[in-house]
Amino acid sequence: MFTFIFAAVVFLLFIWRIHRGFENGIMQEVVNILSGAISLLCVVLVFFAISSVAAKAMSTLTVCMIGLILLGIIFKLCNLIFKPLLALGNLSVIGGLNKLMGAVMGAAEACLLSYLLYRGLDFMGIYVL
């Protein structure tokens, strides 16, 4: 039973990510992945900062604040770099290849998400295969 549900979820995940990758193109997909990674790091640093305030560890708080400022600067630099690249993706010659590579990137994301889902279910004791 769980095997069929897992297979259906993985199939829908693949369709969704490939379609979304084709719509966005590889350049936008890379921007989305970098945005997500930087956002995740910011959330982790904020949680470390909150826990360091509770533990009265000011050195950890200082490191977290510096890390957040540096991540903000990196995010702005990435934004400046990717804006012209995203504009290049609209050219008709590059657009088709951009969309095709976006679909491939979407399939790779679906593979990674499926693996993480499988490992998470395995960790919880739900065996699907």
Mean pLDDT of the chain: 90
Q: Which residues contact 42 (CB under 8 A, 6 or more apart)?
A: 68, 71
For 25-55, what is each residue's pLDDT tens digit? 888 898 888 888 888 999 999 998 899 888 8
Q: What global pTM score does this model have?
A: 0.75
For 51-85, what is each residue's pLDDT tens digit? 988 888 888 889 999 999 999 998 899 889 888 88
Q: Residue 101's pLDDT band (boundaries 50, 70, 90)?
A: very high
**Per-residue pLDDT, 93:** 77
Q: How far is Cα 27 from Cα 109, in angstroms, rounded to an integer?
A: 14
Q: Residue 124's pLDDT band (boundaries 50, 70, 90)?
A: very high
Residues in the chain: 129
Q: Is 55 helix (H, G, I), strand (E, B) or coil?
A: coil
